[in-house]
Amino acid sequence: MITIFKKDYKDEGGTDGEIRIGWATWDKGEYKKRSIKWAYPKGGKISRGSPEVPFDNLVEMVLFAMEKGELTQEQINKLRNALREQ
């Protein structure tokens, strides 16, 4: 991934990392395909193994998690509020 945007993020377990958006690894320099990932630390550095996810897949993953009851009501409310603001 070639990072375009990033923000600090700490997961529920307190692990520091970053949420990154950028040109996807599979884009091959065409600058057409973007992805998102949580860049988590491993051995004191950001892991190169942090998986990237295409945005189409990200939406389906969130919907599937919601469908299977994996998201808390607080998380669902956060999504709803964010979508309303758009």
Helix then strand then coil, % of the chain, to nearest 5: 35, 35, 35
| Strands of 34-39's sheet in order across | 2-10, 16-23, 34-39, 53-54
Domain map (residue ranges) of the chain: 2-85
In three-state secondary structure terms, 5 is strand
Kindly report, residue by residue over 27-72, the tens digit of the pLDDT.
988 999 999 999 988 887 777 778 899 999 999 999 999 999 999 9
pLDDT confidence of residue 11:
81
Q: pTM above 0.85? A: no
List residues bridging with 20 in a β-sheet: 6, 37
